[in-house]
């Protein structure tokens, strides 16, 4: 490495997962062309990497907030491009980041031009999910199997149920950093093939548990969900009291996959599907967008979630390039249904070029991966830059929506969100 070349991460090399860093290089030659690289290993030991070519200015400096990548994993001015373009060594891998106490470690380096160019400088970016003072407590009580995150301070704080399809602490922990008491639970705590039916009562237990927490000040609970978690969240809103604000991200308007029971009776049948409508691609990943039946068809009417019964507020979020299923179509149908019933308790947003996996910002973009509910890789959709921009925008919208509809009365609160 060159002692003259300096590689900096500003404002600091240690940050929270959803915080940007400014990457700056100094001390290279005037107008020198260099290759920037990043590597990171996920929780399953899969190595991800990215690279981009930059040209220094007259002073021998490069600023990723200002300067465009000329070629590589991305092109143009992309301040966080080295992180979101991290790609796995083998196809169809999703960057697995689910544990709140383990930071993502990213090695960022600058090299002489070319793939085998000499390394000139290197720095480590530690990206933490959990902020100082936030508590993490595993919960195993009754039918609840999850993790509770509580912000520092006396509160009271608004309460949120993070309903993951499969267990992940990432989004819940990041929301707790923002001033929410968040319980993360999974729809599937066992292999999906071992589960024959779902019980809404189990998720109601989670709602009730949250409302009993001493630092919770909201009168009701918010629910954040994506994919299969979305239709469970809709059912909570329709059938369970105390659910005040629902964030539905790229879900379905009908109960998908398994019959849903509540109070010892079936309340929703499962939406039918046809694997014959699967589309195989040359990459080895399939498009499953069209395998689900029409929720409005007569044979599926028992699966449609009656959201018109809900008293809470909805934030519907759909990606126009979702290749998992027709989330935009489901959202449009729900909006029209609520309007038909004289309801205005909803907001909706569509990101036309985003794909299915909308997550908190700055994680690696995932074009394809093995599906959790079917044993082969699928395409998730999304144009990378547009998808990353959507994640950044949505992360702010989620926080604003939950604060707006869950925050305690200011007169009763000493906490600042």
Catalytic (active-site) positions: 227, 322, 356
* Distance separating alpha carbons of residues 410 and 237, to the nearest angstrom: 25
Which residue in this structure is represented by tokens 């700055």?
Answer: 362
**Farthest-apart Cα atoms in the chain, separation:** 73
């Amino acid at each position: 490495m060159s002692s003259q070349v300096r590689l900096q991460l500003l404002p600091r090399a240690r940050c929270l997962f959803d915080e940007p860093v400014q990457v700056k290089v100094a001390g290279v030659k005037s107008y020198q062309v260099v290759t920037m690289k990043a590597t990171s290993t996920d929780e399953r030991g899969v190595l991800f990497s990215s690279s981009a070519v930059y040209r220094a200015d007259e002073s021998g400096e490069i600023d990723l907030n200002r300067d465009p990548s000329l070629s590589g994993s991305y092109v143009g001015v992309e301040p966080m491009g080295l992180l979101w373009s991290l790609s796995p060594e083998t196809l169809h891998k999703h960057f697995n980041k689910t544990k709140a106490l383990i930071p993502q470690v990213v090695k960022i380096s600058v090299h002489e031009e070319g793939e085998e160019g000499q390394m000139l400088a290197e720095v480590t970016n530690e990206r933490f999910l959990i902020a100082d003072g936030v508590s993490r407590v595993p919960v195993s009580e009754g039918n609840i199997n999850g993790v509770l995150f509580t912000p520092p301070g006396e509160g009271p704080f608004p309460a949120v149920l993070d309903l993951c399809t499969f267990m992940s602490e990432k989004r819940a922990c990041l929301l707790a950093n923002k001033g929410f008491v968040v319980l993360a639970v999974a729809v599937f705590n066992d292999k999906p093939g071992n589960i024959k039916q779902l019980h809404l009562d189990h998720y109601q237990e989670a709602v009730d548990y949250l409302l009993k927490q001493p630092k919770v000040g909201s009168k009701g609970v918010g629910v954040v969900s994506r994919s299969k978690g979305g239709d469970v969240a809709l059912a909570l809103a329709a059938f369970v009291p105390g659910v005040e604000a629902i964030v539905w991200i790229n879900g379905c308007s009908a109960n998908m996959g398994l019959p849903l029971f509540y109070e010892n009776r079936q309340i929703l049948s499962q939406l039918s599907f046809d694997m014959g409508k699967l589309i195989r691609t040359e990459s080895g990943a399939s498009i499953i967008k069209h395998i689900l039946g029409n929720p409005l068809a007569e044979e599926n009417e028992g699966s449609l979630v009656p959201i018109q019964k809900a008293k809470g507020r909805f934030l519907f979020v759909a990606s126009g390039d979702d290749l998992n299923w027709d989330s935009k179509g489901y959202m449009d149908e729900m909006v029209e249904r609520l309007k038909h019933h004289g309801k205005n308790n909803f907001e909706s947003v569509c990101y036309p070029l985003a794909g299915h996996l909308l997550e908190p910002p700055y994680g690696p973009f995932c074009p394809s991966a093995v599906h959790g509910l079917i044993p082969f890789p699928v395409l998730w959709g999304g144009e990378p830059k547009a998808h990353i921009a959507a994640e950044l925008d949505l992360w702010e919208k989620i926080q604003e929506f939950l604060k707006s509809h869950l925050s305690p009365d200011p007169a009763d609160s000493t906490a600042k969100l």
